[in-house]
Structure 1
Amino acid sequence: MEEAISFKPIGKIHSDFKKLEDMPIQPSGNKANKGRLEIDARYVEGLRDLDGFSHIMVIYYFHKSDKVKLTVKPFLDDNTHGVYATRAPVRPNHIGLSIVEIDRIEDNNIYVKNIDVLDGTPILDIKPFIPNFDIPKSDIRVGWLEEKSEEVVTKTSDDRFK
């Protein structure tokens, strides 16, 4: 199970967030901020027909996260939880996922709204967000976040995952 897997970025995220502190902790906490996904020229053909979608899932690499912790104290709680029950960046593979709204696509650039990612973050993949595919039809539970999920709109990051 220790087989290494390697990825090559398909592009880079550009945002107003130059440091880890004071960033929104989730896309829904940043409705006003816009960003740009710069796609490498080799992959531009893959953007064909993406303009028909309003939202995309952006999969990226937490390139400034060099620690791994299996238990963390997340931004929205004072209790410690397993890293897989959080969205903390200090995960074993440092992979992140954000759902953002497409503003427009020009050449190799996807202009997006609601970006919550550090400037310069490598993009691993992009997929269209399709509610009928991506939202389960059964009851959804959000565990320890049940009473806290609305706080995400006003909460910003600090240095706890440095």
Structure 2
Amino acid sequence: MEKIEYKPIGIIHTAFKKPKGTPIQPTAGKKAEAVVEIFPEYADGLKDLEGFSHIILIYHFHLSKESPLVAKPFMDDILHGIFAIRGPARPNPIGLSVTRLIKIEGNKLYIQGIDIVDGTPLLDIKPYVPEFDSKEKVRTGWLKKNLNKLPDSKDDGRFSK
């Protein structure tokens, strides 16, 4: 198979300067605000995005270490397969966060509800559409018994370089 390469379309600026202490999901960082700077050559792609209340950010976990296929996630003490957890150390270190879009000024998106480290390279943006993205009768696997830990959970550095 051919090698796949992506180049960033922007950079995410946040108050979280290192992984340790960063919220582990946007829900845990619901009050945290950030600025997404889109590189000028991609700014035209923001046309009509302001009509959406939420956006999906797809980004590169640039500070993650190499991924084992079995790891201990943030909210459990048991090892799980990497595809059953949402930690940043992955075979392809790609992150996804649904955030609230506050406003757009030029090539800058002001967002709220983040779990992203400052300087993270942005790969793509998609509008969040409940009819496409929200599902009914969802099961949450091993996380069901641990979801109450989310508001207080922060990155403890275990997946960072």
Number of matched pairs:
160
Secondary structure of 1:29's aligned partner: coil
Whole-Å Cα distance in 2 between the matches of residues 71 and 86 of structure 1? 9
Secondary structure of 1:28's aligned partner: coil
Deviation at 1:136, TM superposition (A): 2.2
Partner residue in 2 for 1:17 = 16
Secondary structure of 1:46's aligned partner: helix
Partner residue in 1 for 2:54 = 55
Deviation at 1:32, TM superposition (A): 1.4
Partner residue in 2 for 1:113 = 112
Deviation at 1:67, TM superposition (A): 1.0
Mapped pair 1:159 → 2:143? no
Is 2:65–2:159's contact at 8 Å kept on the other side of the alignment? no
Encode CA deviations 1:106-142: one digit per residue, 9 max, x unaligned: 00000000111000000000000000001124x1100
Is 2:73–2:79's contact at 8 Å kept on the other side of the alignment? yes
Moved more, 110-119 or 61-70: 61-70
Mapped pair 1:144 → 2:121? no
Deviation at 1:3, TM superposition (A): 2.3
What is the identity, as a one-letter code, of the residue corresponding to 1:85?
Answer: A
Partner residue in 2 for 1:67 = 66
Secondary structure of 1:150's aligned partner: helix
Whole-Å Cα distance in 2 between the matches of residues 97 and 20 of structure 1? 15
What is the identity, as a one-letter code, of the residue corresponding to 1:100?
Answer: T
Partner residue in 2 for 1:126 = 125
Encode CA deviations 1:12-58: one digit per residue, 9 max, x unaligned: 00000001111100000012110010000001111010000000000
Whole-Å Cα distance in 1 between the matches of residues 30 and 147 of structure 2? 16
Deviation at 1:76, TM superposition (A): 0.4
Structure 1 unaligned regions, length at least 5: none
Mapped pair 1:89 → 2:69? no
Identity of paired residues, percent?
47
- TM-score, length-normalised on structure 1? 0.96
What is the identity, as a one-letter code, of the residue corresponding to 1:58?
Answer: L
Deviation at 1:149, TM superposition (A): 1.5
Whole-Å Cα distance in 2 between the matches of residues 69 and 37 of structure 1? 30
Partner residue in 2 for 1:103 = 102
Deviation at 1:152, TM superposition (A): 1.1
Secondary structure of 2:59's aligned partner: strand
Partner residue in 2 for 1:77 = 76
4+ aligned runs moved over 2 Å, structure 1: none
Deviation at 1:66, TM superposition (A): 3.1
Structure 2 unaligned regions, length at least 5: none
What is the identity, as a one-letter code, of the residue corresponding to 1:82?
Answer: G
